[in-house]
Structure 1
């Protein structure tokens, strides 16, 4: 009985424990239904399905006390948008799923996310990357992968670091492919990189159609390509590019993460065809959890996919795993117990879509999903903005049957070899990328130029004109052969620049016939480059703002600015007081004062030295001072200190005398040539006629300055200008010519003895060569021009064409000889003053010292004499 009494409480305790355990098990068995819509025939879906199964098992094992258990309902969309939508409707109506994972394609996700908004069911996709899908317009769409725009900055940073100026995107023509293009083009434009062409390839294109598109790209100049497409289409593209020779030396291929993230799953032959390409790949931090999961995943994959033993885990499998964890944690945080839906208020005459029920748990579940942040297998898993936040990419170089890592890109540090590398100057962009050595297509390590002539063997078409100034540009076309020959300063500079390029540039000249007004004809000539009739326009082409809107100019090869040419006239000065003009009034006054001061000092020095020739009376002081300061008379000046002052004074007089003589001579000879006008406003005020080049933009400039059109006369050649300037404004000619400095120099080289240049009076950019917008040749030719204009070559070319008569005496502005100012003789004057003053101070000290010493002796003598007298 006692034993039974002791075992009764134990049995009750065990019964209670089993009852409690049963209730806990019952609560733990609360199911949370999740729909999964994937293209099960693809590698991504197979990898993700295995990862999601492991994620459910791992989550339940780590959190045995959680009250919710995920149940996955997998459906196959079979790569069709309608089938994906149908699968979602089935899951919503028949299984009351509270969230949906997928669909796989961006085009499928668009409609499915709209259904999610209607039913308030979160749609979480780890593969839909198109930027057109946004949580702002589709609030129940959650992207557990990267927005394609997130990788744009890493791609653009590479392009900028390597210095390529033109890029052609190659993308699949669907929602996925088109989504990245706007952000990519915008980012390239911000770094001044041109996109001359966008290659769209239909997702159903055949191999022949892809080959034809590649041949079309070969006819273009650009050799930098950014490929954004699915692995299946990308495999065909690179295989064909290899076959036709586009994976050769000189080309650049950059692939987006849509291909690089699955590069391990591609056929080895495809990877070999991609050799030399660069790519960006999502960075996944290494961890022990990831290593353990990878081993378990491969073991499970052999069971789930026995027919695909070579299948490899990829980033999409990790995102699928972390997405399941995010859903499970959100379900627990939001305290979701059962699926609760609200039916429409009326179900009469409604379609199937309109009868869909609204989830009551959806808002809370979505909120918990966005607020939940954790460190998953793929890294820090943060969906707070409705999409995964990733700021680090690996930069890879495809080589052999795989790839090698050459660096990293982070939003904070940009491009670097090491992930944690510190940059001393974060804002500085080095011209040499901080990456490991790249093996480019063709198995070379030399950086590709990124462009080449469109078709090998084709020559660049260089447009030339027969200008009004043959010294700058002149051209002729052989009527029989049609060959154009060109000459002139512009041609010599261009040909010299081409010689200095680091590569060969084949070209031929083509003549453009100028008709009508020169300025408008030159506008038309430059416009031919925009129309792609010419690859380059060479000539005396002024770099103007309106022209720069549709072409790119090189740096100028001539001086810039607008100046004025006026006649010079003789101006013989017959002024009777011209002998006073060599010195300014201030200099005359200063000289007189120094003369008087020096004379007074010498007079005082001789007076203190008991010179008998010095009269101490005031009546003769002034005459004596002037005499001492102007003449050195050994009989008059006795003291050594006085003679020192005179030597310094004599030096000042000699310098002043020489300068005065030279200045007076200059005024009587050189100053005879003077310009007839000094300022364009002076001509406007006097109502003078003024000339300019025919059709030049200078005419518009003069009108802006206030000249009436009737007062402006256009001229075609230097002879007409010379005749007009010779006649003058009052005799039917002109008072001055206003033009561009290169033309003025040419005019003065022939007529320099009668005219001079005033100015420049207006700034312009000078002459340059025109290229199509974004042409990579602009930078190379500009660099060569800098090399030419910075040395002796440009001087030799100008002497050949412009300065062959280098005897011009008055080229440039004439400046008459000016009067001598006090500042010109500041040194000798100060020296004279210092020596005179110092000598006077020394003489005074000596005088007072001597008198003080003599005075006591005189007093003693007087006392002795007085004492002797008293004794007598």
Structure 2
């Protein structure tokens, strides 16, 4: 009976399971409609179409992914490649009850149609619309299946910082994608204390003449590091114009965003003329690690593109790889979607249905009821595809963004290194460094040598003095004292002085011309302060006063401000007793001038600080580095000393034959200390001699009684004393003890006392004794045998 019940339960369970499976199976439709919106008549569009078709075929032929459900791909031509006209095209895709749309290619179009995706709750999945702002919360149904431009801008910023450049010029298409990408570049450069010094936007429909006008302004600017952010259609035009303007030669640095590496991958080999226009350019290329899946797809790609190259080569780029993985990621998300019991249903949008009389037939559009569920499942995909690990981080960006840094050389490109958000720049593949902590690969932060524009391996300086007629404006203080440093020649616009000569000599050593103009400031009545002028150009305040108060610890009430040299001389002459000062503290250069005509004063003590003088430039000014190098060269060749002697040497005092003797402590100043130390040493020596003499006398008193005493007849008392004094105190004491014991033993034996000494052999070191106990008539005695 129990077996019958068990059999019945098993049948009931199996029936229930079959019913549940049938319900789940019923949620899986035979087909799932997905759409693709691209401009398929371009080379980029053609490779994307080939990759999408191949992925759909591979998914549909693998029952382990979606079971019996097949993907049905609807291709919609984004023929005009413009945002507004794409609206009608995307509406046609939406009217087919699609659950997701792959595309569009451009970020501009994505900005327009993502609002429609939000309204109809249909995921808009793109691997080529890389505008960072599309990842904002404003566009929840936009899903990027490639890395945002934010990461390649971080890679470019690291490049700029790696080579020591501080300013770049940005040339870009003036649209959403261009502006937002350059904004991201500016943020990343700021993190490296670099900046975009000049922005050169160009219209998306710009003619070669308009591009020429923009690049002419770029050529007049200071920076020679130019970043081009464009697309595959518009970007090559910039380099054509730049080549014609002579801007692809020595001294220039060109960095193109990933559009250039995509062109080189897709359309390789380019013609010799096109390659000549981009020689020496650096460009990041989206990095995908090597794997068995990728190698198989590379082999498959050759077969897929066979017969499709009538309009030009169709090489494999990151766009093809990510297009292929996008279909697989969507398939895995749909599989999870169906396993959760979800069904694909659509409902009318009341907002659209209320629009009457329109010719767009918006009432045909339906809302994807389970769009949010599918969106969540896409972000939960965790698979390995041809691009490597396909997984989303919490910020909804794919994990492990990485790029290869490519250098255009000759007829192709060469890799000079890698960049990843984990390890930064490196010559080691990013996946090798993923297992290491973020600060454990400083030794790998380097790149291979670059062939720069102009076919040179010498790193460009990255800037020149601008050729736009602007002069270097130099503020010159016009004071009433210390005019040896700087002063204006009366009745002229010229200036002279120590600082002027140093600057002119340094500028003459620069390898380029520096047009400049001196701008005087001051009222010719008071000494102007440099603090305000310096604050305008560099993140500082008064030096001497703050140093004395905060570093030395002098109370502010004890400080007396003095302006002119006459005031200083008078205050020093009067002294603190007559309302003057005890000491005057100022910067060393001012001191030299003050003493040059006042020989009775001198400098006492060491300088408080070694802070030097210099010329102030705006922060990160490239001229500051070159001018500092020139000043160091002046130090080496003696020019700086000659200029110093010309303006600051104390000639007045030297002409009078005065001896500027520094008031230092002399040897006689320490006579008291010497007397004390000498007396102490003599006293110690006297006490020591007395002790030695006492010990010697005591030793001599004991010496004649020794049985083995046999002094040398020729030995003198002085020699014996010196020998005694030379011996160590411990040796003398041990010898005295030994002799005492010998005398005790000797006297005992003479007294007739009998003893039995054991036949033991005693061995001891010199000057040592051995004791043994023997028995004598019941009493115990100790005898010492000296060996």
Kindly indicate whether residue 305 of structure 2 is the aligned counterpart of residue 435 of structure 1. Answer: no
Q: In the aligned structure 2, how far is the partner of 1:316 from the partner of 1:509? A: 53
Q: Find 1:368's aligned residue among 372, 377, 385.
A: 377
Cα offset, 1:783, TM superposition: 3.3
The equivalent residue for 1:40 is 40
The equivalent residue for 2:330 is 327
Kindly indicate whether residue 600 of structure 2 is the aligned counterpart of residue 753 of structure 1. Answer: yes
Structure 2 gap ranges (5+) = 1-22, 708-742, 748-787
SS in 2 for 1:322: helix
Q: In the aligned structure 1, how far is the partner of 2:167 from the partner of 2:410? A: 28
Listed as ranges, the matches of 1:186-225 within 5 Å are 186-225=187-226
The equivalent residue for 1:52 is 52
Q: In the aligned structure 2, how far is the partner of 1:317 from the partner of 1:251? A: 33
Listed as ranges, the matches of 1:717-728 within 5 Å are 718-719=565-566, 722=569
SS in 2 for 1:232: coil
Cα offset, 1:54, TM superposition: 0.6
SS in 1 for 2:198: coil
Q: In the aligned structure 1, how far is the partner of 2:230 from the partner of 2:439? A: 33
The equivalent residue for 2:427 is 417
The equivalent residue for 2:690 is 840
Q: In the aligned structure 2, how far is the partner of 1:231 from the partner of 1:549? A: 46
Question: Which string of whole-angstrom CA distances, capped at 9 and with x for unpartnered residues, describes residues 363-382 of structure 1?
Answer: 33222211112221222222
**Is the Cα contact below 8 Å between 1:564 and 1:759 reproduced in 2?**
no
**Is the Cα contact below 8 Å between 2:424 and 2:445 reproduced in 1?**
no
SS in 2 for 1:375: strand
Q: In the aligned structure 1, how far is the partner of 2:315 from the partner of 2:674? A: 89
Q: In the aligned structure 2, how far is the partner of 1:440 from the partner of 1:347? A: 57
SS in 1 for 2:125: strand
The equivalent residue for 1:253 is 254
**Residues 188 and 212 of structure 1: is their aligned pair in 2 closer, same or farther, counting only changes over 3 Å?**
same
**Is the Cα contact below 8 Å between 1:564 and 1:739 reproduced in 2?**
no
Cα offset, 1:230, TM superposition: 1.1
**Residues 112 and 376 of structure 1: is their aligned pair in 2 closer, same or farther, counting only changes over 3 Å?**
same
SS in 1 for 2:109: helix
The equivalent residue for 1:594 is none
Listed as ranges, the matches of 1:50-89 within 5 Å are 50-63=50-63, 66-78=67-79, 79-89=81-91
Q: In the aligned structure 2, how far is the partner of 1:783 from the partner of 1:26? A: 79
Kindly indicate whether residue 504 of structure 2 is the aligned counterpart of residue 492 of structure 1. Answer: no
Question: Which string of whole-angstrom CA distances, capped at 9 and with x for unpartnered residues, describes residues 411-436 of structure 1?
Answer: 33332334277799956868x97322
The equivalent residue for 2:169 is 168
**Residues 721 and 829 of structure 1: is their aligned pair in 2 closer, same or farther, counting only changes over 3 Å?**
closer
Kindly indicate whether residue 589 of structure 2 is the aligned counterpart of residue 775 of structure 1. Answer: no
Q: Which piece of structure 1 moves more, 421-430 or 120-129?
A: 421-430
**Residues 311 and 206 of structure 1: is their aligned pair in 2 closer, same or farther, counting only changes over 3 Å?**
same
**Is the Cα contact below 8 Å between 2:353 and 2:363 reproduced in 1?**
no
Listed as ranges, the matches of 1:553-592 within 5 Å are 561=544
Q: In the aligned structure 2, how far is the partner of 1:435 from the partner of 1:114? A: 43
The equivalent residue for 1:636 is none
Cα offset, 1:270, TM superposition: 3.0
Cα offset, 1:446, TM superposition: 1.0
Cα offset, 1:507, TM superposition: 4.2
Larger RCO (alpha carbons 8 Å, 6+ apart): 1
Cα offset, 1:509, TM superposition: 5.4
**Is the Cα contact below 8 Å between 2:417 and 2:426 reproduced in 1?**
yes
Listed as ranges, the matches of 1:82-161 within 5 Å are 82-93=84-95, 95-134=96-135, 136-161=137-162
Q: In the aligned structure 2, how far is the partner of 1:348 from the partner of 1:417? A: 58
SS in 2 for 1:113: helix
Q: Find 1:551's aligned residue among 537, 555, 573.
A: 537
**Is the Cα contact below 8 Å between 2:232 and 2:260 reproduced in 1?**
yes
Kindly indicate whether residue 391 of structure 2 is the aligned counterpart of residue 382 of structure 1. Answer: yes
**Residues 317 and 463 of structure 1: is their aligned pair in 2 closer, same or farther, counting only changes over 3 Å?**
same
Cα offset, 1:214, TM superposition: 0.9
Kindly indicate whether residue 461 of structure 2 is the aligned counterpart of residue 449 of structure 1. Answer: yes
**Residues 461 and 167 of structure 1: is their aligned pair in 2 closer, same or farther, counting only changes over 3 Å?**
same
**Residues 348 and 403 of structure 1: is their aligned pair in 2 closer, same or farther, counting only changes over 3 Å?**
closer
Q: In the aligned structure 2, how far is the partner of 1:73 from the partner of 1:63? A: 21
Question: Which string of whole-angstrom CA distances, capped at 9 and with x for unpartnered residues, describes residues 175-229 of structure 1?
Answer: 1111122332222223222432122112122211111111111111110111111
**Residues 163 and 826 of structure 1: is their aligned pair in 2 closer, same or farther, counting only changes over 3 Å?**
farther
Question: Which string of whole-angstrom CA distances, capped at 9 and with x for unpartnered residues, describes residues 419-459 of structure 1?
Answer: 277799956868x9732221111111111111112229998
**Is the Cα contact below 8 Å between 1:394 and 1:407 reproduced in 2?**
yes
**Is the Cα contact below 8 Å between 2:107 and 2:129 reproduced in 1?**
yes
Q: In the aligned structure 1, how far is the partner of 2:547 from the partner of 2:140? A: 69
**Is the Cα contact below 8 Å between 2:478 and 2:523 reproduced in 1?**
no
Cα offset, 1:560, TM superposition: 7.7
Cα offset, 1:340, TM superposition: 0.7
Question: Which string of whole-angstrom CA distances, capped at 9 and with x for unpartnered residues, describes residues 571-616 of structure 1?
Answer: xxxxxxxxxxxxxxxxxxxxxxxxxxxxxxxxxxxxxxxxxxxxxx
**Is the Cα contact below 8 Å between 2:506 and 2:634 reproduced in 1?**
yes
Q: In the aligned structure 2, how far is the partner of 1:466 from the partner of 1:504? A: 29
Cα offset, 1:272, TM superposition: 2.0
The equivalent residue for 2:487 is 474
The equivalent residue for 1:16 is none
Q: In the aligned structure 1, how far is the partner of 2:620 from the partner of 2:206? A: 30
The equivalent residue for 2:285 is 281
SS in 2 for 1:321: helix
Q: In the aligned structure 2, how far is the partner of 1:271 from the partner of 1:54? A: 31
Cα offset, 1:316, TM superposition: 0.8
Cα offset, 1:562, TM superposition: 6.2
Kindly indicate whether residue 305 of structure 2 is the aligned counterpart of residue 293 of structure 1. Answer: no
Question: Which string of whole-angstrom CA distances, capped at 9 and with x for unpartnered residues, describes residues 319-376 of structure 1?
Answer: 1111011111111121177521244578873577698543233233222211112221
Cα offset, 1:97, TM superposition: 0.8
**Is the Cα contact below 8 Å between 2:30 and 2:70 reproduced in 1?**
yes
**Residues 170 and 548 of structure 1: is their aligned pair in 2 closer, same or farther, counting only changes over 3 Å?**
farther
**Is the Cα contact below 8 Å between 1:135 and 1:141 reproduced in 2?**
no
**Is the Cα contact below 8 Å between 1:344 and 1:355 reproduced in 2?**
no
**Is the Cα contact below 8 Å between 2:427 and 2:445 reproduced in 1?**
no
Q: In the aligned structure 2, how far is the partner of 1:393 from the partner of 1:404? A: 13
**Is the Cα contact below 8 Å between 2:478 and 2:527 reproduced in 1?**
no
Q: In the aligned structure 2, how far is the partner of 1:428 from the partner of 1:779? A: 29
Cα offset, 1:737, TM superposition: 5.9
Q: Find 1:692's aligned residue among 547, 558, 562.
A: 562
**Is the Cα contact below 8 Å between 1:228 and 1:259 reproduced in 2?**
no
**Is the Cα contact below 8 Å between 1:135 and 1:142 reproduced in 2?**
no
**Residues 433 and 329 of structure 1: is their aligned pair in 2 closer, same or farther, counting only changes over 3 Å?**
closer
Question: Which string of whole-angstrom CA distances, capped at 9 and with x for unpartnered residues, describes residues 380-428 of structure 1?
Answer: 2223443333432111111223211122223333323342777999568
**Is the Cα contact below 8 Å between 1:563 and 1:739 reproduced in 2?**
no
Q: In the aligned structure 2, how far is the partner of 1:727 from the partner of 1:746? A: 21
Question: Which string of whole-angstrom CA distances, capped at 9 and with x for unpartnered residues, describes residues 601-633 of structure 1?
Answer: xxxxxxxxxxxxxxxxxxxxxxxxxxxxxxxxx
Number of residues of Structure 1 aligned to a counterpart in Structure 2: 665
Q: Find 2:523's aligned residue among 515, 520, 525.
A: 515
Structure 1 gap ranges (5+) = 1-22, 523-541, 566-678, 694-714, 864-872
Q: TM-score, normalised by structure 1?
A: 0.67
**Is the Cα contact below 8 Å between 2:227 and 2:257 reproduced in 1?**
yes
Q: In the aligned structure 2, how far is the partner of 1:776 from the partner of 1:212? A: 26
The equivalent residue for 1:603 is none
**Residues 123 and 135 of structure 1: is their aligned pair in 2 closer, same or farther, counting only changes over 3 Å?**
farther
The equivalent residue for 2:180 is 179
The equivalent residue for 2:644 is 798
Cα offset, 1:315, TM superposition: 1.1
Q: In the aligned structure 2, how far is the partner of 1:745 from the partner of 1:564? A: 20
**Residues 150 and 819 of structure 1: is their aligned pair in 2 closer, same or farther, counting only changes over 3 Å?**
same
**Residues 720 and 830 of structure 1: is their aligned pair in 2 closer, same or farther, counting only changes over 3 Å?**
closer
**Residues 205 and 519 of structure 1: is their aligned pair in 2 closer, same or farther, counting only changes over 3 Å?**
farther
Q: In the aligned structure 1, how far is the partner of 2:468 from the partner of 2:353? A: 71
Q: Find 1:851's aligned residue among 687, 697, 701.
A: 701
